[in-house]
Amino acid sequence: MTDLHVSDAIRYIGADDTTIDLFESQYPVPNGVSYNSYVILDEKVAVMDTVDRRAAEEWLEKLEAELGGRTPDYLVIQHLEPDHAGSVGLLAEKYPEMTLVGNAKTFSMLPRFFPGEWTPRALTVKEGDVLSLGRHTLTFVMAPMVHWPEVMVSYESDEKVLFSADGFGKFGALCADEPWLCEARRYYFNIVGKYGAQVQALLKKAAGLDIRTICPLHGPVLREDLGYYIGKYDLWSRYEPEDEGVLVAYASIHGNTAQAAARMKEILAEKGCPKVAMADLCRDDQSEAVEGAFRYGRMVLMSPTYDGGLFPPMDHFMAHLRDKTYRKRRVAVIENGSWAPAAARIMRGYLEAMKDIELCPTVHTIQGAVKSADVAAMEQIASELLG
Ligand code: FEO
């Protein structure tokens, strides 16, 4: 692992969590996650966010080692979600003279997590306010809904560091040897994906800053080629496809729809589609499927009918897509129903309520096993999808 510290004055004091089973109790994180926190050592000392309570002990040890007997003057609270603010109460109790820095929303929400009277210890900042620590100066930039309403980011102008809160984060502990892009994309679309407009607003503000280093609250500190990461965020938050290809997302009860999906993959490849990704919604991680849906510009949905409605794994997926504001894509729908099929109607209902979805005109019903007429219909649908 490379040196995690930003500089002699900006020290990394976060922690890896490699034993958590599900992030936010819903997202598998096979390589864990990091809760990042930093301390700026200057004439004044500022702690930048805390960590999840799960990692509080390690974090406090690191903080104390960096402080070398000093006490923090400020705790900057950029985001109140408990994976970052879970140890605010602990730190505030340990250092009673420390001032808490946040915006009006931060302090209206703080007592909901940590009951008490915080006003006497609060320094309330707003857009553009500046906090001088000595050589280092923090300027606060509001970033509401990236990913909660109280979120703000902080720009340190001496070393040109952007403390970016959840922005530019990724799943995966820092000790994990893995590339940034895949887990950053899965993180983005599942955690922040709903808030593309707000991410765009933040990127516009950030464009006016000379940024040399990005310090997110999850994942590695970004020091080089920042245009690459900013470019990905710009693309994702505009809901533009990243790669040419198709996601075939299917759910199958007894294997017939899975067989049809495998055939659909072959057909798409035969027609020249450069990449066909598959998501078995019954078995694969749904957050991977959501990531795939946003990564590609085209998608095929294939599901049986169940209890007169949509088979639950597909229903969950559609609800995830709706909640993450899936849009700007071309989508085909294929259902399976041996009697009274209903899946296509419900899938189309979800899609018709989304923005800028181009539905392929042919909707096909498979009845049980895949037959030659089904293959012919899938050929037609593939042409519409790729055309
Ligand atoms: Fe990493 Fe929105 O908390």
Which ligand 1 atom is the nearest neighbour of the CA of 165? 1
Residue 3: the pLDDT is 79
Which ligand 1 atom is the nearest neighbour of the CA of 147? 2
Residue nearest to atom 3 of ligand 1 (CA): 81
Determine the Cα–Cα distance for residues 188 and 325; give it in Å rounded to an integer.
13
Residue 2: the pLDDT is 61
CA of 370 to the centre of ligand 1 (A): 44
Determine the Cα–Cα distance for residues 52 and 56; give it in Å rounded to an integer.
6
Low-confidence ranges of the chain (pLDDT < 50): none
Which ligand 1 atom is the nearest neighbour of the CA of 217? 1
CA of 38 to the centre of ligand 1 (A): 16
**4 burial type by CB count under 10 A (0-12 exposed, 13-18 middle, 19+ buried):** middle
HSE, side-chain direction, 13 A CA sphere, residue 2: 9
Which ligand 1 atom is the nearest neighbour of the CA of 191? 2
Q: Which residues contact 386 (CB under 8 A, 6 or more apart)?
A: 246, 268, 271, 272, 273, 298
Residue 285: the pLDDT is 96
CA of 33 to the centre of ligand 1 (A): 11
Residue 170 beta carbon below 6 angstroms from any ligand 1 atom: no
Determine the Cα–Cα distance for residues 127 and 130; give it in Å rounded to an integer.
9
Residue 1: the pLDDT is 55
CA of 200 to the centre of ligand 1 (A): 18
Q: Which residues contact 253 (CB under 8 A, 6 or more apart)?
A: 304, 306, 311
Residue 79 beta carbon below 6 angstroms from any ligand 1 atom: yes
pTM: 0.96
Which ligand 1 atom is the nearest neighbour of the CA of 35? 1
CA of 71 to the centre of ligand 1 (A): 26
Amino acid at 288: E
CA of 337 to the centre of ligand 1 (A): 41
Residue 284: the pLDDT is 97
Amino acid at 136: H
Residue 217 beta carbon below 6 angstroms from any ligand 1 atom: yes
Residue 261 beta carbon below 6 angstroms from any ligand 1 atom: no
Residue 154 φ then ψ, to 5°? -130, 135
CB atoms within 10 A of CB 357: 18
